[in-house]
Amino acid sequence: MDISVVVPLWNEDESIEELHDWIARVMKDGGFTYEIIFVNDGSTDGSQRVIDRLHEEHPNTVHGIEFRRNYGKSPALYCGFERAQGDVVITMDADLQDSPDEIPALYRMIKEEGYDMVSGYKQNRSQGDPLSKTIPTKLFNATARRVSGIHNLHDFNCGLKAYRRDVVKHIEVYGEMHRYIPYLVKNAGYTKIGEKPVHHQKRQHGVSKFMGWNRFVNGYLDLMSLWFLSTFGMKPMHVFGFVGSLMFFIGFVASCVVGGLKLYYLSAGIKAPLVADTPWFYIALTMMIMGTQLFVAGFLGELISRTSQERNKYQISKTI
């Protein structure tokens, strides 16, 4: 199979059939063998009925996964990636803002130019989206480029992306990490990441599910989490153990200085206050205790990282 198109969706019943027909037309014109995997993320409208009908009409090309409740875009992508069989995996949103006409060019960039991943770049986003969406997006992308070190991408969160199949089989998309799939791909060892300017259309039906500044705040926190996990996730002792050991050492040296001064005063016959009467004694003791706690936290983190179970377990009511 040439292409798997993974489409996560939530309450998009008005656009699913139109999107399917558009994708099918592009695939037919390009002579591709393909499948479309609709991942219904707990929709409460008629989305699943539309998917079921499309599967009945096109059983060889239309497949579906239905969640019992809304988990989020990342779990939907993860399950879609597990099911995908195409040599190239394309992801796009179901709201018709991503154009299927971009698929042939994305496919060629993966198959002929050797990219591991190609991310879409919605250059004309400001023409179709409100400021409450575009300004946080620009700030988010600037921060993501800085932290991830992937400086050639302008739009990390574009839903239209293409991957080699083995790439999606070796990344774990969980929580809200769909925003940082390029970073996940890089951390998995796939470094040939490209970008393609794509056409961004105005939403035709329904309302956007991602609006406001909370996206930027949550995105920033997720980015910091991903940076920490990618840097220290498998070696928590390197950060907690180091900081804890440093604090313990400073506290120990400070306590030795306090005790040494007390002995010096006693040997010199100088009346000195009790050790417990000086604030430095308590500061040194606190640092030693906190250092020990951080070191133990790092040790426990090492144990947990080696025994943790798979995080991505979702309740799926039906797979077609």
Q: How many residues does the chain have?
A: 320
Q: What is the pLDDT of residues 175-186, one digit of tens each?
A: 778 888 998 999
Beta-sheet strand order (sheet of 34-40): 193-198, 117-122, 161-164, 88-91, 3-9, 34-40, 62-67, 316-319
Q: What 3-state class would DSSP assign to 289?
A: helix
DSSP 72: -
CATH 3.90.550.10 fits 3-232, yes or no: yes
Show me where the domains of the chain are located.
Answer: 3-232, 237-305
> Does the pLDDT value for residue 196 go beyond 80?
yes
Contact 257, 218 (CB under 8 A): no
- Determine which of 6-20, 283-297, 301-315 has the lowest per-residue pLDDT on average: 301-315
Rounded to two decimals, the pTM is 0.73
Helix (DSSP H) and strand (DSSP E) numbers for the chain: 11, 8
Most confident of 83-92, 245-254, 257-266, 283-292: 83-92
Buried b (16+ CB within 10 A) or exposed e, 58-76: eeebbbbbbbeebbbbbbb
- Determine which of 74-78, 242-246, 308-312 has the lowest per-residue pLDDT on average: 308-312
Reported in sequence order, the residue ranges of 1-97 that DSSP labels E, i.e. its strands, are 3-9, 34-40, 62-67, 88-91
| Token duo for residue 299 | 């040790």
pLDDT score, position 207: 60
Rounded to 10 deg, the angle between the 16-30 and 47-57 helix axes is 30
Gap between the Cα atoms of 158 and 186, Å rounded: 17
Q: What is the mean pLDDT of residues 106-113?
A: 96
> Does the pLDDT value for residue 25 go beyond 70?
yes
Q: What is the mean pLDDT of residues 192-207?
A: 79
